[in-house]
């Protein structure tokens, strides 16, 4: 991790452009970076928590699929508010995809889409494959959804697939991709938002102790990024990072209250993104504690 780039002063990239143009400008500014560096450095350069989330999300996707194109991508799993394979109706037949995904992050701007689909023969237990389609290809249609109150600058979409030709990625779709992505995304989004907070704190001259604690959170995240995403140790260490971040809330609230209303308003609006996956994360923690006899 090039920590000097985290410490130095930097101008936020303006958000007054399309999402894919903003992301392209971010990549031009960053150059060749690892997925974790994309999350941290991209988060620090983001003008909003929502765009910091996007940088973390893109970093997570690239750790999941190292061969990902440079352009914006999205992982498409959810159907009817469920990610359970047994609840999915999207099907892979040969290299043809049909079905619907209901919650696709930045779907209208994504160039490529990773799609989880069932591929087991009739009557057998659900088995997932992970496939890749291109936005705009025949049989691939993205339906824009209304902006959410949380992170309205990162739109969401519904994906419709009708006999769309795809590429199938190697390995089991659940064990090799969907399951580990839960923790990979949590880590990279936490790192991106932590870097955004550090950048705001540096610009606004927050108390030195708070800035150092945010740096400590980022250095801890860098270590956790080296762990296997499905290992109990990773789940335990990730929970420790979230506990560390939660303990910062009183200091963050005080710092925002004493500074420009612009930053306080953005954080008040978007900070809940870190709580969305709290339930599944707690279950993984309990399993990790049991694995270590804690």
Res 17: pLDDT: 81
Separation between Cα atoms, residue 101 and residue 131, nearest integer Å: 13
Res 277: pLDDT: 83
What's the predicted TM-score (pTM) here? 0.96
Each as own residue / partner, the long-range contacts of residues 265-272 (CB below 8 Å, 24 or more positions apart, any chain) are 266/48, 266/49, 267/49, 267/197, 269/49, 269/149, 269/150, 269/151, 270/48, 270/49, 270/50, 270/53, 270/150, 270/151, 271/49, 272/150
Tens digit of pLDDT at every position of the chain (294 positions): 889 999 988 889 988 789 999 999 999 999 999 999 999 999 999 999 999 999 999 999 999 999 999 999 999 999 999 999 999 999 999 999 999 999 999 988 999 999 999 999 988 999 999 999 999 999 999 999 998 899 999 999 999 999 999 999 999 999 999 999 999 999 999 999 999 999 999 999 999 999 999 999 999 999 999 999 999 999 999 999 999 999 999 999 999 999 999 999 999 999 999 988 888 899 999 999 999 998
Res 107: pLDDT: 87
Query: Which residues are bridge partners to 200 per DSSP?
Result: none
CATH 3.30.230.70 corresponds to the domain 73-168: no
Res 9: pLDDT: 83
Residue ranges per structural domain of the chain: 3-64+176-291, 73-168
Write the pLDDT tens digit of every residue in 109-125.
Answer: 999 999 999 999 988 99
Residue 116 CB partners (closer than 8 Å, separation 6+): 75, 76, 77, 85, 88, 90, 128, 129, 130, 131, 173, 174, 177, 178
Res 200: pLDDT: 97
Res 137: pLDDT: 96
């Amino acid at each position: 991790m090039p920590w000097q780039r985290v410490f130095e002063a930097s101008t936020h990239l303006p958000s007054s452009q399309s999402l894919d143009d903003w992301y392209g400008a971010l990549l031009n500014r960053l150059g060749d970076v690892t997925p974790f560096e994309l999350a941290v450095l991209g988060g620090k350069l983001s003008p909003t928590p929502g765009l910091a989330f996007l940088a973390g999300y893109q970093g997570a996707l690239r750790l999941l699929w190292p061969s990902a194109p440079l352009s914006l991508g999205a992982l498409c799993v959810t159907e009817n508010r469920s990610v359970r394979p047994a609840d999915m109706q999207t099907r892979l037949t040969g290299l043809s995809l049909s079905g619907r995904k209901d919650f696709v992050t930045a779907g209208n701007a994504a160039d490529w889409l990773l799609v989880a689909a069932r591929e087991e023969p009739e009557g057998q237990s659900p088995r997932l494959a992970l496939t890749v389609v291109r936005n705009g290809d025949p049989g691939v249609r993205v339906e824009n959804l209304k902006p959410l109150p949380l992170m309205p600058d990162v739109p969401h979409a519904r994906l419709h697939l009708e006999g769309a030709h795809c590429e199938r990625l190697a390995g089991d779709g659940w064990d090799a991709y969907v399951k580990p992505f839960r923790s990979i995304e949590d880590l990279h989004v936490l790192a991106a938002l932590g870097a955004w907070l550090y950048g705001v704190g540096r610009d606004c001259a927050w108390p030195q102790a708070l800035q150092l604690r945010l740096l400590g959170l980022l250095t801890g995240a860098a270590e956790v990024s080296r762990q296997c995403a499905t290992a109990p140790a990773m789940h335990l260490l990730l929970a420790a990072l979230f506990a560390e971040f939660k303990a910062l809330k009183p200091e963050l609230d005080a710092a925002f209250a004493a500074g420009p209303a612009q930053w306080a308003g953005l954080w008040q609006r978007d900070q809940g993104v870190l709580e969305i996956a709290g339930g599944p994360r707690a279950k993984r923690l309990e399993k990790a504690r049991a694995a270590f006899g804690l």
